[in-house]
Amino acid sequence: MATVELLSQSKGGMMKKILMVAFHFPPFSGSSGVQRTLRFVQHFPALGWQPLVLSAQALAFEKISPDLLSEVPESVLVERAFALDTARHLQLKGRYLGWMARPDRWVSWQFDAVRRGLQLIKVHQPDVIWSTYPIASAHAIASVLQQKTKLPWVADFRDPMAQDGYPSDPKTWQCYQAIEADAASRAKACVFTTPGATRMYQARYPLAASRMRVVENGYDEESFALRPAPKPVLSPNPFILLHSGLVYPSERDPTQLFEALSQLQRSGELNPSSFRLRFRASGHEAMLRSLGVQYGVSELFELMPPIAYRAALEEMMAVNALLVMQASNCNAQIPAKIYEYLRARKPILGLTDPNGDTAWVLKNAGINTQARLDSRAEIVNQLSLLLEQYRRGYSELPHAHAVHQASRHERSAAMVLVLNEMLR
């Protein structure tokens, strides 16, 4: 309904322009966060908004990949500011001064980004400035541009910034707090990807509470539709449970999962010929190998390297089931990968706090195979249930309506509603 309304508005009026300040933009690689800005850029024009992108030079990106660069529409102007990575370009014998990486290691791009941003505003006269975290300096750049031009600003927080114990450096934490407080004061709208993060910031900044909105992450339908879904390989090959993406030692601590695997192996329910837990691009292979040795389950899991984005989506559709992990200290956050899991239409095992936003997304999609990440007993029960459902030919799959609502097009329409509301 909202999409139809937005399309009619865009046809009936002139195209508006939006200056998007985003460090994570192709050819940047290494985080699923790049998808949010890229898909907004793709879908905004059909919804009445022409994007102008202000990003950083590829020199600053720790990892780059050309696979997404071709998906940036040719009609979109992308301006790239000079930027360095303090940890790689400004260190001496592996060390650098702390102030050179506050609020983040790419703080150097602020200077040229402000200059280029002002030029873009002068020439193209955008209606709105939009900036996106997790690179905190993007909000700092947008704040300066807003103060100099008085244009309305949308601060896309995504996830919480200053948290208990994060960032661990007290001075960096103070920088984060100052940036978020400035955004809450100056931005016409503050956008978060989860209800929990929104409630947290409404309580933290009550004067800005009415200007805070939720626009979740999503999946890109076009990327899934490029090739037909591969058919899963069934027995006699092992059942493959896939975790695609980073495994954080705290926020996605797999210790109890490994204990559960050990118990199920001792009981005879799991063995290497019938079951395999696959970690794709975990980022912490040494930790996982150590846990495998500690609990005697090294033959029950495999560590796989990073692969291109579309190849990762194909893998999600080819395996037997998908695994998401999110600890209770991240109850106000939702892994962006979970929406691609929903679109893959595979059984999902959710290891997360039942009171958190990740559990909320899974429940709304009809996925009830959930256990606390820190509970070995619950993981044993739910993993056994998942395997039993598979053996009987019945598995819980995400509801169709939940999958549709999670598309990037629908999320873009939700963001455009925020933009239009703000201008009115």
Residue that the structure tokens 């650098």 belong to:
96
* Residues shown for the chain: 424
In 199-296, DSSP assigns E strands to 212-214, 239-244, 275-280
Residue 263 confidence (pLDDT) = 97
Instruction: Give the pLDDT band (50/70/90) at residue 393.
Output: confident
* Tokens describing residue 414: 């939700």
153: left (phi over 0), alpha (psi -120 to 50) or beta: beta
Contacts of residue 231, Cβ cutoff 8 Å, sequence gap at least 6: 318
Judged against a pLDDT cut of 60, whether residue 8 lies above it is answered with no
Identify the three-state secondary structure at position 350. Answer: strand
Judged against a pLDDT cut of 80, whether residue 10 lies above it is answered with no
- Give the residue-averaged pLDDT of 227-251: 76
Separation between Cα atoms, residue 146 and residue 140, nearest integer Å: 10
Strands 321-326 and 348-352: parallel
Q: Which domains does the chain have, with CATH numbers?
A: 13-218+408-423 (3.40.50.2000), 223-405 (3.40.50.2000)
My answer on whether omega of the bond before 249 falls inside 30° of 0, hence cis, is no
* Tokens describing residue 423: 């201008």
End-to-end CA distance of the chain: 20
For residue 373, which of 400, 396, 354 has the smallest C-alpha distance?
A: 354
Which H or E element spans position 145? helix 137-149
Judged against a pLDDT cut of 50, whether residue 226 lies above it is answered with yes
Separation between Cα atoms, residue 420 and residue 105, nearest integer Å: 34
Judged on CB neighbours under 10 Å (0-12, 13-18, 19+), 270 is buried
Judged against a pLDDT cut of 50, whether residue 7 lies above it is answered with no
Strand partners, 123: none
Instruction: Give the pLDDT band (50/70/90) at residue 14.
Output: confident
Residue 13 confidence (pLDDT) = 62
Instruction: Give the pLDDT band (50/70/90) at residue 157.
Output: very high
Task: Confirm if 51 and 40 have CB atoms less than 8 A apart.
Answer: yes
Count Cα neighbours of 371 within 13 Å in the Cβ-side half-sphere.
Answer: 21
Contacts of residue 268, Cβ cutoff 8 Å, sequence gap at least 6: none
For residue 118, which of 154, 145, 155 has the smallest C-alpha distance?
A: 145
Residue 63 confidence (pLDDT) = 87
pLDDT digits (tens, 9 = 90+) for 38-97: 999 999 999 999 999 999 999 999 888 888 898 999 999 999 999 998 888 888 878 888
Query: What is the per-residue DSSP string for 384-412?
Result: HHHHHHHHTT------HHHHHHTBHHHHH
pLDDT digits (tens, 9 = 90+) for 327-351: 999 999 999 999 999 999 999 999 9
- Give the residue-averaged pLDDT of 407-424: 94
Query: Which segments of 137-284 does DSSP mark as H helices, in order?
Result: 137-149, 170-186, 195-204, 221-225, 255-266
For residue 55, which of 29, 23, 83 has the smallest C-alpha distance?
A: 23
Separation between Cα atoms, residue 424 and residue 422, nearest integer Å: 5
Q: Measuring CA to CA, how many Å separate 174 from each of 57, 102, 111, 159, 171?
A: 27, 10, 21, 17, 5
For residue 419, which of 1, 4, 9 has the smallest C-alpha distance?
A: 9
Judged against a pLDDT cut of 70, whether residue 6 lies above it is answered with no
Identity (one letter) of the amino acid at 242? L
Residue 233 confidence (pLDDT) = 47
Q: pLDDT higher for 5 or 195?
A: 195
Q: pLDDT higher for 322 or 33?
A: 322
Q: What is the pTM of this model?
A: 0.86
At 227, give phi and psi (nearest 5°). -135, 150
Judged against a pLDDT cut of 50, whether residue 30 lies above it is answered with yes
